[in-house]
């Protein structure tokens, strides 16, 4: 099991930027697929971005070109730019020992390690 703690959420105007961080309790760099999910009120949790053990990144179409995922030994980041109101939601960090072929396509149900979430609100 890996403990995950997110931080960096907040309120921002449309077009603004935020950087989310996820601190892990273990060295996840070489062993875990890491991902960001988000959940808006009344909606299902959806994948935003993932990064596999080789460092390959995968993004939801809705955030391509605006969000960037990165990691080091035990921290995962999500740089979010050109934020839109539809980006509003609770953002969660997740980790699982997936192989690279699975990492970019795994659904929320397949992850067993989750953080508590950090709220992102985009509003004018």
103, β-bridge pairs: none
- For strand 89-96 and strand 75-80, is the pairing parallel, antiparallel, or unpaired? unpaired
pLDDT, tens digit, for every residue of 104-116?
A: 899 999 999 999 9
CB 9 within 8 A of CB 122: no
Within 13 Å and on the Cβ side, how many CA atoms surround 56?
10
pLDDT, tens digit, for every residue of 56-104?
A: 999 999 999 999 999 988 999 999 999 999 999 999 999 999 988 899 8
């Amino acid at each position: 099991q890996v403990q995950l703690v997110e931080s960096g959420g907040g309120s921002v105007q449309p077009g603004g930027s935020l950087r989310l961080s996820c601190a892990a309790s273990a060295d996840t760099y070489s062993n875990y697929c890491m991902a960001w999910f988000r959940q808006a009120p009344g909606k299902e949790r959806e994948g935003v971005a993932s990064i596999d053990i080789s460092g390959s990144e995968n993004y939801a179409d809705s955030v391509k070109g605006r969000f960037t995922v990165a990691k080091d030994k035990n921290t995962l980041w999500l740089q979010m730019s050109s934020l839109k109101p539809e980006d509003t939601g609770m953002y969660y960090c997740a980790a699982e020992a997936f192989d690279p072929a699975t990492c970019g396509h795994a659904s929320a149900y397949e992850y067993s390690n989750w953080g508590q979430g950090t709220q992102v609100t985009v509003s004018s």
